[in-house]
Amino acid sequence: MECKSGAMSTAGKNPGARHEADVIYGIDNWGQGFFAVSEDGHLTVRPNPTENATIDIHEVVTQLFTEGSRSPLLLRFPQILDAQILKLKSAFDKAIEEFDYSESYQGVFPMKVNPRREVVDRLLETGRSVNLGLEVGSKSELLLALGMKPASDALLICNGFKDPAFMEMAFWAHRLGRNVVIVMEQVREVKEYLRIASDFGCKPLLGLRGRLYTKGSGKWEESGGETSKFGLSTMEMLECIRALREAGIEDSVAMLHFHIGSQITEIRRIKAAVREASRVYAKIRKMGVSIRFLNVGGGLGIDYDGSRSSSDNSANYSVQEFANDVVYTVGGICHDEGVPEPILISESGRALTAYHSILVLSAESRFDPNLDVRATLEPMKKASPLVELTEILDEITVKNFREYYHDAVQQRDELFSLFDLGYLGIEDRAQAEVLFHEICEKALLFAKATKNQSDDFLRLAKALRRKYISNFSVFQSVPDAWTIGQLFPIVPIHRLNESPTEFGILADLTCDSDGKIDNFVDTRRVKTVLELHEVRPGEPYYLGVCLVGAYQEVMGSFHNMFGRVNEAQVTISAEGETETFGLQAGDRIFEVAGIIGYERDLVLDRVARRVDEATASGRIDSESATAFHGQYLAWLNASTYPD
């Protein structure tokens, strides 16, 4: 599909509301210049920061849905991957020049962060000009990496648990001409390396993964520090060097590596870790081991909430500050210690990929049907609390709403006591619930209008959050929102030139009470409601969950058998031509069933038997049996998500 971007209608122009949308959803804060709001009130993406061409996400989605695709839909913007690779590389180049550092920087992409073919292929293609390599942490990743063709100087770093097969694969990669570094994480891996080296008659480069005292910060703090699961203690590192020296191949040790955790929120932790690692590097160099790469691992944080702070969902530094601190610190310590400066490596995965994809959901708000029955209920008697509640509802205003709301709480409690004692009927109780709910809604509107932030009204806002039933599974598409409470910016992809009138949370399709998103980004706090629009009857309402390009796709699970979502890639040319390609249909029911052991034929066979039994017992006739069979096949071939 090709559609022209920039074909904007002027309908609904409202610059004030667009500005309001920026403020409400914090787009400028977390968007890094990639996201903005168009005059039509649509969310746009500017994937190439050096050009002005923007992609209208709503236009793309509407077009794709017209052509038969459905929500949930994952949109990838490969040009954002390009931009991030170049941003990281140029930040290091700038720092190297500024601090007169004598060596260069090379990145490697850790496959675990997003191993999707489209992503890795694009990263390696664009990364060819900057020697972007790969980091693998398992046999599966290594086997795939073996078939890829990055730049000839790019590194292939092998981390993780290495059984003999993993080690042999790494040796094969070396023999095939790849720039392999096998990182030792346990002393026993050295023995395995030596055994295979003598079998293969070659010795790929080796790395040592050190365990630093410095811990990271944020949710992955425990990945670093002396109790970390990963890396060699100082004694173990010395033992590895001794064993390699004894075997006469200490000259193969080329890299010192550390990683103190992903999403490091505080720059001072990075500085401290780099300082410690640089000192270890210098001391090992002084032992005569000619390490030439210092690998600072991953951890470069993303400012998901836009607060530019050390909160768990943010990072209090920029990419440039990260690069400056690494280069300056390593350079300074090498100078102090009088050792050569190493080539700098980082394994930044989140920073390269997080921005590049958006999950588009369709949402509908759920109204409590109780609210419509007020007129149809005939109370048994006009109990005094009911009379009071009716009056409060009629008379509550912006001036008296605090007092009237408190009165309403009292009247409701009184009415429930009377019900408990048997004085009132079920209709009285129903009527009171409806009246009280309406009073709360009015009070909340007044509280919002007067910017009342008291505990009472914050609690009320939380209680009255409207559920937007959204066509997705948290467990499949944003698992970190569930497992670690990670926040992702969520924004309607249209109607951003209209003021939102509702406070909502997102409920997914799974039958799991954890299948919801009820925390949202904000620069000052975590919002427990998101400002959303009233869903108009018969009109779709689409939300974009942004910054989901790192970790989410590969960590997603099949809870309730919701499968992978539909996907498409979107690019834009300098002339503003939007191109959508690489459409992939999400999983169908039989595919997800196959993953958990119900192969299609087995499923069909089992159902055929149940149908035969029902036919034999006369429960259904053979015509119905044939019709059901056809229908069952069609259902099995359909998407796991509702139409």
> Where do contacts with ligand PLP occur on this chain (CB under 6 A)?
110, 113, 135, 159, 259, 262-263, 297-300, 347-351
In this structure, the number of other CB atoms found within 10 A of the CB of residue 214 comes to 19
* Spatial distance between the Cα atoms of 95 and 93, rounded to a whole number of angstroms: 5
Residue type, 511: C
Closest CA to 59 of 491, 586, 493: 493
Beta bridge pairs of residue 492 = 543
Percent of the chain as helix, strand, coil, to the nearest 5: 45, 15, 40
Phi then psi dihedrals of residue 108, to 5 deg:
-130, 145
Signed CA dihedral, 191, 192, 196, 202: sign only:
negative
- Our CB check for ligand PLP shows the closer of 41 and 107 to be 107
Position 434: which residue type? V
Q: Which residue has the tokens 């039989």?
A: 590
Q: How far is the CB of 329 from ligand PLP (least distance, A)?
A: 18
Select 112 or 429, whichever has its Cβ closest to ligand PLP. 112
Q: Which tokens go with 226?
A: 């002396």
102 Cβ contact list (under 8 Å, min separation 6): 340, 341
The least distance separating ligand PLP from the CB of residue 293, rounded to whole angstroms, comes to: 14
530, 520 Cβ separation under 8 angstroms: yes
Structure tokens at 324: 């400056």
**Residue 377 beta carbon to ligand PLP: minimum distance, rounded to whole angstroms:** 56
d(CA 486, CA 604): 40
Helix (H) or strand (E) holding 260: none
Q: Which residues of 434-473 are buried (b: 16+ CB within 10 A; e: fewer)?
A: bbbbbbbebbbebbeeeeeeeeebeebbeebbbbbbbbbb
Complex with ligand PLP: residue 91 or 570, whichever CB lies closer = 91
Residue length of the chain:
643
Nearest-angstrom CA–CA distance, 184 and 236: 10
CB of 543 to ligand PLP, least distance (A): 25
CA–CA separation, 491 vs 26, rounded Å?
Answer: 9
Four-CA torsion 177, 178, 184, 187, nearest 10 degrees: -20
Q: Which is nearer to ligand PLP, 236 or 522 (CB)?
A: 236
Which residue's CB is nearer to ligand PLP, number 299 or number 586?
299
Between 31 and 349, CB nearer to ligand PLP: 349
Q: Cβ closer to ligand PLP: 355 or 457?
A: 355
Task: Compare residues 300 and 443 and give the one whose CB is closer to ligand PLP.
Answer: 300
Q: What are phi and psi of 384, to 5 degrees?
A: -55, -40
CA distance 479 to 510: 13
For ligand PLP, the closer CB: 326 or 593: 326
Nearer to ligand PLP, 157 or 565 (CB): 157
| 347 vs 480 by CB, closer to ligand PLP | 347
**Dist CA 542 CA 362 (whole Å):** 5
Residue nearest to ligand PLP (CB): 298
R_g (Cα) of the chain, nearest Å: 30
Residue 209 or 494 having the CB closest to ligand PLP: 209
Name the minimum Å distance from CB 312 to ligand PLP.
13
- The smaller minimum CB distance to ligand PLP, of residues 113 and 237, is found at 113
- Kindly list the distances between the CA atom of residue 132 and the CA atoms of 93, 103, 113, 151, 402, in Å, as whole numbers in the listed order: 14, 16, 15, 7, 60
* Direct distance between the N- and C-terminal alpha carbons of the chain, in angstroms, rounded to an integer: 22
Cα dihedral across residues 503, 509, 511, 513: positive or negative:
negative
Least distance from C-beta 127 to ligand PLP, angstroms?
15
Task: Please report, as a single letter, which amino acid is at residue 413.
Answer: D
SS3 category, 514: coil
Written as six digits, the tokens of 335 are: 């100078």
| Nearest distance in Å: CB 212, ligand PLP | 13
To the nearest whole angstrom, how small is the minimum distance from the Cβ of residue 3 to ligand PLP?
33
Least gap, CB of 296 to ligand PLP (angstroms): 10
Q: How far is the CB of 349 from ligand PLP (least distance, A)?
A: 3
Contact 566, 73 (CB under 8 A): yes
User: Residue 41 or residue 298: which is nearer to ligand PLP going by CB?
Assistant: 298
Q: Give the residue carrying structure tokens 């009377």.
A: 418
CB nearer to ligand PLP: give 183 or 491: 183
Q: How far apart are CB 528 and ligand PLP at their closest, in Å?
A: 27
Contact assessment for residue 230 and residue 175, using Cβ atoms and an 8 Å cutoff = no
Residues with Cβ within 8 Å of residue 96, at least 6 apart in sequence: 103, 104, 105, 327
Strand ordering across the sheet containing 43-45: 35-37, 43-45, 55-56
Distance CA 355, CA 216 (A): 22
Closest among 202, 198, 194, 199 to 173, alpha carbons compared: 202
Q: Which is nearer to ligand PLP, 160 or 582 (CB)?
A: 160
* Among 255, 248, 168, residue whose Cα is nearest residue 208: 255
